[in-house]
Chains A and B, each alone.
Chain A
Amino acid sequence: MSQINQIPTIWTTGWTEIFNTGTWRSAFPEYQLRPSPCHNACPIEGEIPVWIQQLKNKDFYDSWLTLVKNNPFPAVTGRVCHHPCQSACNRNHYDDTVAVNAMEQFIGDMALVENWSLPAPLPEINLKIAVVGAGPAGLSAAFHLRQAGCQVTVLEAQAEPGGTLRYGIPSYRLPKDVLAQEINRLIETGVKIVTNSPVAFPGDLALLKQTYDVIYLAVGAQKPKKLPLLDYTASWVLDGLSYLKQINCQQAPVIGNRVLVVGGGSAAMDVARTARRFGKEVALIALENRGILPAHPAEIKEALEEGIKLYDGAMITAFREIERGLAFTCVEVTLDPNAPVGVLRPLPIEGSDFTIEADTIITAIGQNPDLSNLDNFIKTGNSLIIVDENNATSQPFIFAGGDATSQERFVSFAIGMGKKAASIILNSLGRKQECQSEIQHGKIPEVSYSSINTFYFPSMPKLQEVVLGVEDRIENFKETKIKINVEQALLEANRCFSCGHCLKCDNCFYFCPDMAVTKNLAKEDYEILEQYCKGCGLCVEECPRGVLALKEEIR
């Protein structure tokens, strides 16, 4: 008889570690960096959970570096961005969105106070790029191209760079010195900005093509739309674009005491609130009802607080001169639901006529790019420069972006377009760009609210964003937004779920009943032991932010 296995019958001396319980499982957990909804909504593809986490850890400088990797103007966008990130934020489903925008401003402002510089660009390469227009799109493209080492010259028609940021948005929303400081940083990295240098179409373009390898047209939408009803040569008719531009150049155009502003967007609000600051009695008339006005709800609220009278869902049908000023006949309207997308077709409501008296009327009903003399040289259409998915125009080596090519009139969109254009331009010139964003856009599913384990996030109200009281702001152009302090920023940063971005909270490590989740100290990462993991999924469930997912294992 063979030797019977002499395993002792009592007094245990071995460990269960020899058992490969990994054979039990049918799925194995995988760590994956996943895009957050805020990142996916951001036109600039900002790594929002990353810089918020850095802020939370008081690594303010690193937070700023992460921000400017994509967007060189955080102090600007922190003030004027329409923050689609906040609309997309998963925390909306829980208690309230995370105040991303306010934190961005906080970091941007700190950078200005601390006088931080943008990272030095890569060594200079023999690529010359001409950017036409120093607005947000042009400056963004210039920044990214310069970072890659290109020799970049920005040609700006006006006396100062900034475009809409400089000449459109009033200083109570965006102080001029903030803008100037952030633009100066670009110049410090070697971007050449030549002001007072309009580029005549098409002749100058041909000249530029001889000196530069690529041209990027970012000329914006500088041609105001006009109401056919009005004669813009009359002294009492102004277009909002030039009104704001004059104000932003410290000039005060002569306008009457009672001002009627036409339009429902941010520009109209800017016009109305600017006029109000000069002590004018201001009324605003717009086709859309209050609920669907294109302007930001906060802007509308502040405008109403400042005493602007709102006539929403109405339009002007006629006007006549009266003893003092003008009388505008208006009628209430609804918008035709069957109108094509993007087209506002007002339907007057019978018997709802009313009159508004005013001394001056200023229209801010939209802008188009000035394409005169350009159409024969470059393909245009729908009042825009036509570009393909690579931002290329019909002319070789000429790209375009910003308001000139798109009806999406948001600062962040323009900055995003400039960044993407830079990447495409470099690729087209044979310079392989490594994808700046770690997350392959669109390839990995974004983290939805169902992946968030809210137990780990005690409910906390969003930080209160406060503006100056009406009395304090109505007679001046002081910045209306009150800056948040560091305590507020840190508290708010704590509210970020950090969707899809592992914070090494160790939950996966702690909640494994089999100790199969280990910490690889050398790699500073987690490692799941194949021989023990039973595939229960506790780690996935207890991950607060959806970094883990179970992948089916086929044997």
Chain B
Amino acid sequence: MRTYEIEEYKVFNSGHQACPGCGEALAIRFIVNTLGPNTVGVVPPSCIAIISGPQPYSSMRIPIYQTTLEASAASAAGIKRALSARGKEDVTVIAMAGDGGTYDIGFQALSSAAERNEDIIYFCLDNEGYMNTGAQKSSSTPHYAYTSSTPGGKPTRKKNLTEIMAAHQIPYVATATVGFPDDLVNKVQKAKQIKGTKVITVLTPCLDGWGIADNAAVKISRLAVQTGIFPLYEVENGDRYTINHGSQGLPVTAYLSQQRRYRHLTQEQIDHIQADVDYQWQLFLRKSKVNSFG
């Protein structure tokens, strides 16, 4: 039987304003409670910012700086460099941004920070859309998904941020999700020990944006992994791939059928998604074998 043994610092406070059952709040809990009090975080406009709390109340017992939407990586780099200049090298500096602030408007700053190997952990809490502003599409929104700015379904595929960041050959890139909290916690701890740029993309289902029940965030995130849509893996230095939890061959319908944002799919579209997932998974296996040296 699977049981979890997760040690937590008390950093995340109750009383925050996340929706009941929010997957992102759960991710924040595991991230900050694992990192502990010697941390400073940067948060751009996103659900995370709302969860951070209204002035003068904070939901996290660490300093949190709320920046502009495009500037998370640059802001975090500024903090890290300043604290190091003050002799405080041991402070962990992180950014927690949504997919909007990472895949789209914040991408430039992130790529640049990665090129400079800034010593920060960048967490993308990916709910596949601009959920805080009412569920508009982002480049992380998957193919055919309904959003308020793509009511007919998104015509293009989801951008693969993890592979892009891996191509920067930074020390550590990984995916994680709230359905596998022990895996997420392990990755947070690992990232904390590494110097340089670390990027972890955490799939965090949005109840309202995806159209799922209040109690379903954890369950849905697992299905994303088990259908092969969102494999959990790590890439070290751009070439060493480790698959933590991969596809178990579950058909994509097991995942799609549970979400209102996919309710309009035709059979053709479902087949297309299945074919695409199968293809990407094979490609991924091939790539991870080729790139893995151990």
Contacts and interface: CB of A to CB of B under 8 A. Distances in A.
| A and B touch in their complex, CB below 8 angstroms | yes
Contacts of B61: 15
B18 interface: yes
B16 interface: yes
A544 B2 CA distance: 10
A335 to B, nearest CB: 44
Contact of B58 (A15, A506, A538): A15
A511 B55 contact: no
A534 B3 contact: no
B25 A507 contact: no
A511 B56 contact: no
Nearest to A505: B3
B56 A513 contact: no
A510 B181 contact: yes
A505 B217 CA distance: 20
Contacts of A536: 20-22, 214-215
Q: Output the residue of A12, A13, A456 with the most chain B CB within 10 A.
A: A12
A529 B29 CA distance: 17
Interface string A1-44: 00000011111111111111100110000000000000000000
Contacts of A515: 12-14, 29
Interface string B17-31: 111111101100100
A13 B61 CA distance: 10
Contact of A540 (B55, B56, B215): B215
Which bracket fits the contact residues of A? Answer: 35 or more
B215 A541 contact: yes
A542 interface: yes
Interface string B267-281: 000000000000000
A347 to B, nearest CB: 49
Nearest to A515: B14
Interface residues of B, number: 38
B59 interface: yes
Contacts, number: 122
Contact of A494 (B1, B13, B64): B1
A16 B3 contact: no
B56 A13 contact: yes
A454 to B, nearest CB: 11
Given A14-B56, A510-B6, A542 B218 contact: yes
B57 interface: yes
Contacts of A116: none
Contacts of B58: 12, 14-16
B222 interface: yes
Nearest to B207: A536
Contacts of A535: 20, 214
Contacts of A17: 13-15
A494 B1 CA distance: 7
B246 interface: no
Nearest to B64: A12
Given A16-B59, A24-B20, A536-B20, A511 B26 contact: yes
A511 B25 CA distance: 10
Nearest to A494: B1
Given A514-B16, A515-B14, A8 B56 contact: yes
A544 B222 CA distance: 15
Given A16-B15, A25-B20, A510 B4 contact: yes
Interface string A526-547: 0001011011111011101000
Top-4 shortest CB links A-B: A536-B21, A534-B20, A537-B215, A513-B25
Interface of B: 1-6, 12-23, 25-26, 29, 53, 55-59, 61, 64, 181, 213-219, 222
Given A16-B15, A19-B17, 6 more contacts: A15-B57, A19-B15, A21-B16, A506-B5, A515-B12, A534-B20
